[in-house]
């Protein structure tokens, strides 16, 4: 065709190649290995890295993002896989294992159980009682040591589950459970939800239920304290049935067992039920493989060095094995079971104390038997990444350090994320603040919004090194936690001129003493009562921390502060209380404020004045 002009050609070196293949990139891949995978020369990779401003040698480890970017440039889509996955794949291909042979080698392993439930419903008592049943049942070895998990065997001879074993994690409650899960660890196979028959379903019962459900772990309900004359096990059944846990004998699928930890009633039955539910899940593991497991707890012990309780989940861990665990590595010098007995090997579903670690791992870290050199290399790479991450966080922008950063880092911009209670204020504030820009620093409003400061705001601030300002709004609890972790400066104000003043002074490096609020606790308003003379009493449940009689408080509704002041009265039942803690109910009356509504949150805090350093601009 006439007049056709071919598309312009760009220099090849800068133009990414079309994607023609896909590769997998292992953790901490070296320049050399990546070049091999891509089928290009290492020096081409190094040249490309230089263009991106990265000086690298052939043996240098690259992080996923960079490696991915390079691969794309050289025409390959890439998938990042962790060292754990990579090793699993290599092992499978070495052994020539197919899915079928792997399945054939797998044997049934004991289930791992976490006990959850409301405070004082008997979690600890139940754990202790079960442990003792076993010991009393004639098992040699004596007293169980607390190592974070223990294994019991059903020793009742006429039991259909005679001889079977169950592992119990020894830190009851859903906090530890979810913390582990947040680290990517899946340890628990079954949750036993303990509900006291005399008390019934309570807030933490429901929380525990939600956590177990979120983790897709089956629940067995242990209705405890049935020895008590005021026990009403059927009421518990009814309450839970209403919330989706329908008992088997009422046509549902949830197993309920009436127990008494105190009188040791039905403990064998509970264990049989655990085995039954475990069978439905078909829990399998292959003891022939090299061991893998998860750290349940870890500590530094005088004389013994680092001691980690590891729950072996698959394969067998043996004395002499080299391994990687989280950011560290080691060689199994010795292992002890939950009765402090030295063991040579630990098959699947066995908790053991492991000696011989080079560093302290965290609970939830995965342990994996691996070649010593490789384990050391990956551990060092992870450790370095972790250090970099902390460094990056501590250099985040804060208002106090602003003048310093302008001076030393030649900072020219102050990025701000602004959240306000109403759109109007947000606009006015954005405008006012932008006008504060001077020849040295330009104020840049990255984002304005209405409502509580949420996690997305914090992530945005973290990614763009910004400060968050809340005007008549509060951070959501999760956002607050994330901000603490990411070291994001959040400033809360309710008076425009104060805010203006603070920013001005920050720019001059003359930040006045700031008022620091220390968070104490939080209670949710579940009910309100009008009491003549006293005003509105809010029937509250303390969600976390502590509410003190003399703390400052704010009332938050849908993330917006509607009142700030003091507590008028704090009561537990009919009595005055000086403080009410996490998990308890109380009545709160706010001084000079009666418009409290169900669903509001009362936050308690203490205010301190902190003198900021008087820097010089
Ligand atoms: P946790 O906070 O859930 O770990 O609860 P605990 O195990 O500490 O038990 C709380 C209280 O309930 C303790 O005083 C126990 O003695 C008591 N308790 C636990 N189980 C039973 C039981 O089966 N019957 C009776 N009567 N009391 C129990």
Closest CA to 355 of 317, 388, 327, 326: 317
Tell me the backbone φ, ψ of residue 143, rounded to 5 degrees. -70, 140
pLDDT at 90: 63
Q: Which residues of the chain have pLDDT under 70?
A: 1-14, 87-104, 134-144, 175, 182-183, 388-411, 463, 509-516, 608-617
- Which residue do the tokens 């829990």 mark? 283
Q: Cα dihedral angle (12, 14, 20, 24), rounded to 10 degrees?
A: 140
What are 295-336's pLDDT values in tens digits? 998 888 777 888 999 999 999 999 999 999 988 999 999 999
For the Cβ of 121 lying below 6 angstroms from any atom of ligand 1, the answer is: yes
Q: What is the DSSP-derived secondary structure letter of residue 8?
A: P
Q: Where are the alpha helices (DSSP H) in 356-419?
A: 372-394, 402-409
Task: Give pairs for 178-182: CB < 8 Å, separation 24+.
Answer: 178/211, 178/215, 179/363, 179/364, 180/294, 180/363, 180/364, 181/215, 181/364, 182/364
The DSSP secondary structure of 93-146, one letter per residue, reads HHTT--HHHHHHH-EE---EEEEEESTTSSHHHHHHHHHHHHHHTT-TT-SPP-
Q: Residue 365 CA to chain centroid, in angstroms?
A: 12
How many whole angstroms separate alpha carbon 11 and alpha carbon 114?
61
Do 249 and 201 share a structural domain?
yes
How many whole angstroms separate alpha carbon 93 and alpha carbon 155?
41
For the Cβ of 128 lying below 6 angstroms from any atom of ligand 1, the answer is: no
Q: CB within 8 A of 478, min separation 6: which ones?
A: 454, 455
Structural domain includes residue 356: no
Structural domain includes residue 301: no
Structural domain includes residue 348: no
Instruction: Write the CATH number for 588.
Output: 2.40.30.10
Do 552 and 429 share a structural domain?
no
Closest CA to 591 of 554, 561, 560: 554
Spacing, Cα 357 to ligand 1 middle (Å): 37
As a whole number, the mean pLDDT across the chain is 83
Instruction: Write the CATH number for 27.
Output: 1.10.10
pLDDT at 101: 54
Count of domains for the chain: 4
Structural domain includes residue 173: yes
Do 190 and 164 share a structural domain?
yes
Do 406 and 538 share a structural domain?
no
Do 271 and 161 share a structural domain?
yes
Structural domain includes residue 551: yes
The ligand 1 atom nearest the CA atom of 128:
7
For the Cβ of 491 lying below 6 angstroms from any atom of ligand 1, the answer is: no
How many whole angstroms separate alpha carbon 294 and alpha carbon 300?
17
* Domain housing 577: 514-610
pLDDT at 86: 74
Do 226 and 181 share a structural domain?
yes
How many whole angstroms separate alpha carbon 286 and alpha carbon 153?
20
Q: Which of 251, 282, 313 is the last residue of a domain?
A: 282
Do 269 and 257 share a structural domain?
yes
Do 163 and 59 share a structural domain?
no
Spacing, Cα 200 to ligand 1 middle (Å): 14
In a 3-state reduction of DSSP, which class is residue 559?
coil
Q: CB within 8 A of 403, min separation 6: which ones?
A: 506, 507, 508, 509, 510, 615, 616, 617
Structural domain includes residue 316: no
How many whole angstroms separate alpha carbon 110 and alpha carbon 150?
12
Do 597 and 560 share a structural domain?
yes
The ligand 1 atom nearest the CA atom of 224:
23
From 261, 270, 581, 582, mutation site for ligand 1 pocket: most ligand atoms within 8 A of C-beta: 261
User: In this structure, are strands 21-26 and 601-610 parallel, antiparallel, or unpaired?
Assistant: unpaired
Q: Which of 259, 282, 305 is the last residue of a domain?
A: 282
Q: Which of 492, 510, 528 is the last residue of a domain?
A: 510
For the Cβ of 264 lying below 6 angstroms from any atom of ligand 1, the answer is: no
Do 258 and 120 share a structural domain?
yes
For the Cβ of 211 lying below 6 angstroms from any atom of ligand 1, the answer is: no
Structural domain includes residue 495: yes
How many whole angstroms separate alpha carbon 165 and alpha carbon 351?
12
What are 353-376's pLDDT values in tens digits? 999 999 888 888 999 998 888 888
The ligand 1 atom nearest the CA atom of 121:
3
Instruction: Write the CATH number for 406.
Output: 3.40.50.10050
pLDDT at 616: 27
Instruction: Write the CATH number for 194.
Output: 3.40.50.300
Closest CA to 72 of 18, 119, 153, 108: 18
Do 137 and 25 share a structural domain?
no
pLDDT at 496: 82
CB atoms within 10 A of CB 7: 5
Asked if residues 349 and 311 have their Cβ atoms less than 8 Å apart, the reply is yes
Do 256 and 121 share a structural domain?
yes
Structural domain includes residue 604: yes
How many whole angstroms separate alpha carbon 479 and alpha carbon 452?
9
Nearest residue by C-alpha to atom 10 in ligand 1: 120
What are 373-431's pLDDT values in tens digits? 888 888 888 887 777 665 555 555 666 666 666 665 556 778 888 898 887 788 888 88
């Amino acid at each position: 065709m006439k007049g056709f002009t071919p598309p312009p050609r760009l220099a090849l070196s800068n133009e990414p190649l079309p994607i023609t293949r896909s590769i997998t990139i292992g953790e901490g891949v070296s320049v050399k290995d990546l070049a091999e995978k891509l089928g290009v020369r290492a020096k081409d990779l190094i040249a490309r890295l230089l263009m991106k401003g990265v000086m690298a040698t052939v043996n240098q480890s690259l992080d996923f993002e960079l490696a991915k970017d390079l691969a794309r440039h050289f025409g390959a889509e890439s998938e990042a896989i962790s060292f754990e996955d990579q090793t699993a794949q290599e092992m499978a291909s070495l052994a020539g294992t197919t899915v079928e042979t792997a399945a054939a080698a797998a044997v049934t392993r004991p289930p791992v159980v976490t006990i959850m439930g409301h405070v004082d419903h008997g979690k600890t008592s139940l754990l202790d009682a079960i442990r003792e049943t076993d010991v009393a049942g004639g098992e040699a070895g004596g007293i169980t040591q607390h190592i974070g998990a223990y294994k019991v065997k059903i020793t009742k001879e006429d039991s259909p589950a005679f001889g079977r074993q169950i592992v119990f994690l020894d830190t009851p409650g859903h906090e530890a459970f979810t913390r582990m899960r947040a680290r990517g660890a899946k340890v628990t196979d079954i949750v036993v939800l303990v509900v006291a028959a005399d008390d019934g379903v309570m807030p933490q019962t429901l929380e525990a239920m939600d956590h177990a459900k979120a983790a897709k772990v089956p629940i067995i309900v242990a209705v405890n304290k049935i020895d008590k004359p005021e026990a009403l096990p059927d009421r518990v059944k009814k309450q839970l049935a209403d919330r989706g846990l329908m008992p088997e004998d009422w046509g549902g699928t949830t197993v309920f067992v009436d127990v008494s930890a105190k009188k040791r009633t039905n403990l064998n039955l509970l264990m049989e039920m655990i085995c039954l539910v475990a069978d439905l899940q078909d829990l399998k593991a292959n003891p022939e493989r090299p061991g893998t497991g998860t750290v349940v707890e870890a500590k530094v012990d005088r004389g013994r060095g680092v001691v980690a309780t590891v729950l072996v989940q698959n394969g067998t861990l043996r004395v002499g094995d080299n391994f990687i665990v989280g950011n560290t590595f080691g060689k199994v010098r010795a292992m002890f079971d939950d009765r402090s007995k030295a063991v040579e090997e630990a098959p699947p579903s066995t908790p053991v104390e492991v000696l011989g670690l080079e560093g302290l791992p965290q609970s939830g870290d995965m342990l994996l038997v691996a070649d010593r050199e490789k384990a050391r290399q990956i551990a060092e790479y992870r450790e370095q990444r972790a250090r970099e991450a902390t460094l990056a966080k501590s250099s985040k922008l804060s208002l106090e350090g602003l003048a310093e950063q302008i001076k030393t880092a030649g900072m020219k911009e102050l990025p701000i994320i602004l959240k306000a209670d109403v759109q109007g204020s947000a606009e006015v504030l954005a405008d006012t603040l932008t006008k504060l820009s001077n020849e040295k620093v330009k104020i840049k409003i990255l984002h304005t919004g209405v409502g509580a400061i949420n996690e997305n705001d914090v992530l945005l601030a973290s990614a763009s090194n910004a400060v968050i300002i809340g005007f008549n709004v509060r951070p959501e609890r999760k956002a607050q936690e994330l901000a603490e972790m990411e070291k994001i400066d959040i400033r809360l104000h309710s008076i425009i001129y104060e805010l203006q003043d603070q920013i001005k002074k920050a720019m001059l490096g003359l930040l006045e003493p700031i008022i620091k609020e220390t968070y104490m606790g939080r209670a949710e308003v579940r009910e309100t009562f009008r009491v003549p003379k006293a005003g509105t009493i809010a029937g509250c449940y303390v969600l976390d921390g502590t509410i003190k009689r003399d703390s400052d408080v704010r009332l938050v509704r849908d993330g917006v502060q509607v009142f700030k002041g003091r507590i008028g009265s704090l009561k537990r039942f009919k009595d005055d209380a000086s403080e009410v803690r996490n998990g308890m109910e109380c009545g709160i009356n706010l001084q000079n404020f009666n418009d409290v509504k169900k669903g509001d949150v009362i936050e308690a805090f203490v205010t301190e004045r902190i003198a900021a350093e008087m820097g010089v601009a």
